Amino acid sequence: MLAVTESGQTAVNVLLSLDETYADVMPVRLNENSASAFVSIMRGCDNMCSYCIVPFTRGRERSRPISSILDEVRMLSDQGIKEVTLLGQNVNSYRDTSDSTIYNSIDTKLTPGFKTVYKPKTGGRRFSDLLDKVSQIDPEMRIRFTSPHPKDFPDEVLDLIKERSNICNQIHLPAQSGNSEVLQRMRRGYTREAYLDLVYHIRHRIPDVYLSSDFIAGFCEETELEHEDTVSLMKEVKYHVVYSFPYSMRQKTSAYHRLKDNVPDDVKSRRHLQLRDLFRQEALKLNLKEIGSTQLILIEGESKRSPLDMAGRNDGNVKVIVPNTNIPESCADISTRKIQRGDYVVVKIRSANSQVLHGIPLYHTSLTEFYNKDNLITEQLCQSSAL
């Protein structure tokens, strides 16, 4: 395409590749001061949700080879990055089929109660394989992933989250609606009941998990009763973070051709604001329960509101604000130093609102030291003495 443009012609590529992943193109980091980075592990999506334009703009699902992903994560670790987010449109559907010598003939097992519009896939290394290997590269590097589809949460993934201290205890679980009929029109492949069963299963395997979700307000033909089912779902699940949007029709989608976008804009807006306000109420309750707890925070930099404060995030990806001050180098060290971007800091939570926690920094630490079970008693003594 560049060669064509050099001759004075215009060029547009409208082909959607079935296999191009750009695995050989190593990204350039523009913000070298950041403590975190995104790593794209796959492109495209096969789910064909009726509202979504992604399959038509990004093509079919195709995954980068595990080897190229591990190389990029190692490079980021060498650069001092402390947190990596594995990124994909349907990230937990990852499947590396690049090595023909590795083949698993067993079909993909979906979450019970979930189905897809495509046939079960076989072969290749799955997301749990990738997550396992990425988490072993650097025990001081936090691992997150987004955005997953709820149909792809085998116990292998849940067990890794629970067992590995550097895989964050946070799962994004997009619901989109709390009503089974709306979910059917959305072609999401599950019912309200199946989604809730998955939530209960996740919380059984990982009791202290942080959950976040996406919701669409005013989807095609949504009634007030169907909307109220979404309200009740949010109340039942109690998410730490929610992203809600009023529905906006996209051309080329199944909804554009087969459904009627007949919910008035003012009704969409009202329902969206109701979901937003409900989330804030529920998130406030959850955050208030954090007061008095001691948490490990990864410092991202100065707070946007005041240079006297530093901002970071806890394991659940909730923002935490602490004073920018000198604190001990470790729980057993009397020497102190300033809090800096990329530091792991032990923080006592003192107050909260629906969006942010506020705390007192106790001392510097490392991720492995904080979660080392053999060091747990020492950590508790340090936290008590620091207070």
The CATH number of residue 55's host domain is: 3.80.30.20
Q: Is residue 180 a contact partner of residue 114, using CB atoms and an 8 Å limit?
A: no
56 vs 257: CA distance, rounded Å: 14
Q: 351-379: per-residue pLDDT in tens?
A: 999 999 999 999 999 999 999 854 554 45
Instruction: Identify whether residues 303 and 283 lie together within a single domain.
Output: no
Are residues 217 and 319 both part of a single domain?
A: no
Q: What are phi and psi of 136, to 5 degrees?
A: -90, -10
Domain endpoint, select from 245, 273, 288: 288
Tokens of 97: 């089929």
By the 8 A CB rule, do 82 and 36 touch? yes
| Cα distance between residue 241 and residue 315, in whole Å | 13
Q: Among 223, 256, 288, where does a domain finish?
A: 288
Does residue 182 lie in a domain region? yes
Let me know if residue 8 belongs to a domain.
no
Please give the tally of structural domains in the chain: 2
User: Tell me, what's the pLDDT at 205?
Assistant: 97
The tokens describing 218, both together, are 């005013």
Specify whether 300 is located in the same domain as 283: no
Is 9 a member of any domain?
A: no
In this structure, the answer to whether residues 117 and 244 fall within a common structural domain is: yes
Residue 129 CB-half CA count within 13 A: 15
Residue at which a domain ends, from 239, 266, 288: 288
Determine contact, residues 157/171, Cβ cutoff 8 Å.
no
Residue numbers of the chain with a pLDDT score lower than 50:
374, 377-378
CATH number for the domain spanning 379: value is 2.40.50.140
Tell whether 59 and 73 lie within a shared domain: yes
Residue at 27 is within a domain? yes
Does 258 fall in a domain? yes
pLDDT above 70 covers a percentage of the chain that reads 89
Residue whose C-alpha is closest to residue 345's, from 290, 293, 298 = 298
Q: Does residue 37 sit within a domain?
A: yes
In a domain, 332, yes or no: yes
Structural domain for 379, as ranges = 294-386
Smallest CA-to-CA distance from 250 within 215, 214, 220 is with: 220
Encode pLDDT of 306-349 as tens digits: 989 999 999 999 999 999 999 999 988 889 999 999 999 999 99
Same domain for 226 and 359, yes or no, is no
